[in-house]
Structures are given as C-alpha cells and as structure tokens.
Structure 1
Amino acid sequence: MIEKERPNVVGKGRSFARDALSAIAEVKADASKLSAGTQDGINSLTDKGAALEKVLRMPFISTVKAGEMAWDLNEMALALKNAVGAGDEAKSLEIASGMASELDKFVHATKTFVVRMT
C-alpha cells in the first residue's frame, strides 16, 4: 500500500474539515450549470457536511487519524471544485459519490470514538 504524502496533520482535523465544508458550499453555488443528477449528488454532500459540522467538537477531531481523514476530504473537495468549474459532470459525480462515503466514515468514526483513560 502506498502512503499518501500529507503535511503535518496533528490536531488540524477541525480546520481541514472546515476548509472542506467551505469548498463544498462553493461547489454547491457553482453547480447550477450541471445536470440534475449531479446537483443531487452535490446537495447530498451538503447534507452530510451538516452532520459533520455537528461533530467537530468531539475528541476524535484532534487525533492524527482525524487529521488524515480531514486532509483527504479537503483534497477531494478541491478536486470536486475544479471538476465542477471545468464542467466535467462525470468526474464531478464520481468525486461526489466518493466524498459522500468518506464523509459518512468520518462522521461514524467521530461518533464512535471512545476516549480511553488508561
């Protein structure tokens, strides 16, 4: 397995996640020129992003794993923004569906994280 090249992500999960959420909001505003199916995919990201916004204060967000997940989400959001800006519907839909599952994983990991005091 090839390790992705990332910057220092320790404790930066919250800021990377907020950057991804703001990029999703920008994409939603620019998605009016895409088809209805692609717009629905992007709107579902907005709904999942609202669920992520609710859990940004939980302890998991400050872990290294959360920082890595948030960095990946941010990279996907920037790729989606570029694809929507270029008008590439197929790539936009592909990235949006991948982001939807990653957002679900992130929210699930955050909600099920248990702080162990040992």
Structure 2
Amino acid sequence: MAAEMTYSVHVTREGDAWLADVPAVAGAHTFAHSLAGLAKSVREVIILMDDLPDDADVELDFHYDVDDESVLDAERLRRMREEIERQEAELVSETGRVASALSRKYSVRDTAAMLGVTAGRVSQLANAGK
C-alpha cells in the first residue's frame, strides 16, 4: 500500500446536501446527504481522479465553509482534539524513553515520583523496549 496522503477538502452545505471540493485534485467535486457519505464519496473521487490504487490510504482534512457558528466551533474542537491526541502520543513515547533511562539508575518508585506516574506504569514502560 502506498504512503498515506492527506487531502484538504472544502465543504459547503446546500439544502440538505453536503458538497465537497478537493482543490488539489482537478475536477474532484462530489456531494452526499451525510458527512460519512461525503467522506466515502470524496475518497472514491480522489482515487479515481488521481488514478490511485483502490486501497490507497487517503486521509481527508475537512474545512467547513458554512454560515453556522456551531459547525465552525465543532471544527475547531476537532482540530484541538487531534492536536491533543498527537501530543499524547508524543508524551507516551517520551515518557517511555525517559522511564527506561531513569530506571537503570534509580528505583522504580523514585522514577515514578519523578515522572508523576505509578510504579507499575514505570515497570511497563521500562520493559516495553526489551
């Protein structure tokens, strides 16, 4: 499978339909009555228009252009949530690295106190790389 590709998708609303435009792909426009359906249709259009394999890993980054403050708030919250998830993954990785280094020099309990986690978690993290 090819590497993951992320496409920016501009989404608008007309009546009861969501409309999508993918600026990076000439002619990539579609619509659906639900956002789940729209995501599926957009992936299909991108794969077709860019001549990608059917199993291409296509990620979509929706940007809403609608006159509804709640939708814009939801988009902002989704982006914040995605950033927190990215930071959390980085935090877990760094904590594991540091826990492993500290546990070679200090007790599990002291390492746990320094990191602000439980001794059991330090043991898990320190042994994860072995």
Give the TM-score normalised by the residue count of structure 2: 0.24
- Structure of greater relative contact order (alpha carbons < 8 Å, 6+ residues apart): 1
- Structure with bigger gyration radius: 2
Give the TM-score normalised by the residue count of structure 1: 0.26
Greater share of helix residues, 1 or 2? 1
Greater share of strand residues, 1 or 2? 2
